[in-house]
Amino acid sequence: MAGWRGRELHQRDGWRQSLTGDEAGALEAFAKSTEGREAETLHRDETALPGLSSLAKRLHDELEFGSGVVLLSGWPVDEWDRAATERAYWALASQLGTPVSQSAEGRRLFRVRDAGYAPGDPRFRGPMSSKRLSFHTDRCDVIAFLCLQPAAEGGATYLVSSEALRDELRRTDPETLRVLEGTFPYLRHTVDLGNERPYCEIPVFSECEGRFGAHFLRVLIDRADASDEAPSLSEPQRAALDRLEELAEDPAMHVTFDMARGDVLLVNNWTTFHRRSEFRDAEAPELRRELLRIWLSMDGNRPIDPRFADHFGATEAGAVRGGMRAIGG
């Protein structure tokens, strides 16, 4: 079950794992055999590595049926060049599912770093800044981060079980839970240029065929509320969102840690909210914080509520879903 509370996550056997020497060797051999290729050009049938089948099963089971979180350490980033690291990371992600688009250009391997864009710049996205991010989920089944370089200061990862949040609200505030099980408007993201819909309406908490699913990105809800293109929130909806964020920020509910160079963090978005603290970068460009991010549509994923169709596409179990539609796609 994914409904852990705070430091209970640390007691779970499967949430923290390490690459074995054989697994690292299989990835290194793959990176060498594909030298000269860009990661995103590698088709899934090329990345089917028998030496990673056991690792893929461990990761899948923990993400889908366990805590919903895995911190995988031991990635040999200091032994490979940047291109080899990207190819090996792509191969690992492809053991679990299908990488989906994270931009209007269809990019599936995204560099998370402070790009220096002003908040009013149409290219601005929270991950491309150094600011604190609030608890949220992304438009995919599982989000994967490879830490290439931590920040000089700050940039801590925060995780909270959305299933535990639901259970706590069911126990203490059922009216707020009822509101959060209804739909909320989401304005189209500023970089979601391939999406023809100005907004969609989806729930925060839901169940489908007995499987839990949560989705939450307050910034797009607030933009919808302020826009003439989407319905405004009711006062009970605003209060419910405030209560949800207040509960997620309770130290008894969440866990926080720093990712080290070479850590891979995988998070099931349907069971877990994540956020990042503000950070300060080093002056030297090579020492500035940088993560590689992949959005995954997981093999063997859960069915999700039909109300997610406008945002995710397919909702049935096992379907490829999520991501941003590329322009012209």
Q: pLDDT band for position 128 (50/70/90)?
A: confident
pLDDT at 188: 93
* Beta carbons within 10 angstroms of residue 239's beta carbon: 14
* Domain annotation for the chain: domains and CATH numbers: 6-312 (3.60.130.10)
The helix (H) or strand (E) run that includes residue 165 is helix 162-172
Indicate whether 59 pLDDT > 70. yes
DSSP 35-79: TT--GGG--GGGG--GGGHHHHHHHHHHHHHSSSEEEEE---TTT
pLDDT at 104: 85
Tell me the per-residue pLDDT of 166-219, one tens digit each, with 9 for 90 and over. 999 999 999 999 999 999 999 999 888 888 899 999 999 999 999 999 999 999
Indicate whether 2 pLDDT > 70. no
Tell me the per-residue pLDDT of 290-316, one tens digit each, with 9 for 90 and over. 999 999 999 999 999 999 999 999 999
Indicate whether 328 pLDDT > 80. no
Token couple for 29? 């051999």
Q: What is the pTM of this model?
A: 0.96
Q: pLDDT band for position 250 (50/70/90)?
A: very high
Where are any strands of DSSP class E within the chain? 16-18, 69-73, 97-100, 110-112, 142-149, 153-154, 157-161, 183-187, 199-203, 205-208, 211-214, 254-257, 264-268, 272-276, 279-280, 290-298
Token couple for 77? 């980033």
Q: pLDDT band for position 123 (50/70/90)?
A: low
